[in-house]
Amino acid sequence: MAYENIIFEVKDPGVGLLTINRPKALNALNPGTLDEINDVIDTVEREGNVRVLVITGAGEKAFVAGADITEFPKMNALEAYLFALKGQKLFFRLEQLPVPVIACVNGFCLGGGCELAMSCDFIFASEKAKFGQPEINLGIIPGFGGTQRLARLVGRAKAKELCMTGEMISAEEARAIGLVARVFPADQLLEETLKVATALAQKSQIALRSIKKVIDEGVGVDLRSGCELEANAFGLVFTSEDAREGVNAFLEKRKAQFKGGFTA
């Protein structure tokens, strides 16, 4: 598929870099961009050569400044509802990818952009980045899962404050409230993000997948049930070739070479 709104490349050792490439529109998300991101997810799931996915925005101003507002005047209530469902379905697919997904936020991360970043496993941000859900200033509300993921990440009160005021917060404040994992100087952000992605790509993919699944499923249940999920996953991962290789490499004082797969 020839992309008009994104750039997708795979770097060694299996790091996929997806760049939202609409800098003149501050990388705003229109239906075509959502479709192209969806196609990348299909490719990652089908081909299996991407072990970590990094998402960033083209240019220096924006990660994604939101949904493309120029599309809104054309929409009636049903079309707006379907557009929200389209974005939500895509972000659920991204959230459920069996590989780590890192948002590399290089600038404005607002509205749909903040919702996109929150559907990733964690967020690395430039010190110049700004975060927010400013839909209230248009007389509307977040539609791609913003009210729900934000409340789960930073708590109900802070989520209400951000969504009700529409105010932007700095990368450092976003880190302080638990929205962002790490903040880097702007000129080091992509390099540092790819460094972490490369390190993750060399770890056991079975173990990474299990960690992602157990944490995501466990946060919605009580502690005892969550620990049971963990114990089950621990037992299953223990049968993998990676587990045997990792333990043997540690005992033999050498670097593990993870390949994936389960033993017979």
Annotated catalytic residues are: 115, 135
CB pairs under 8 A, 24+ apart, for 158-165? 162/132, 162/133, 163/133, 163/135, 163/136, 164/136, 165/136
From start to end of 70-171, where are the E strands? 101-105, 108-110, 122-126, 130-132, 169-170
Q: In this structure, what token pair is assigned to residue 128?
A: 């110049």
Angle at 46 between CA 43 and CA 50, to 5 degrees: 65
Q: What's the farthest any 2 CA atoms get from each other in the chain? A: 65
CA dihedral (168, 181, 184, 145) positive or negative: negative
223-238 helix and 241-251 helix, angle to the nearest 10 degrees: 80
| Cis upstream peptide for 13 (omega within 30°) | yes
CB atoms within 10 A of CB 80: 15
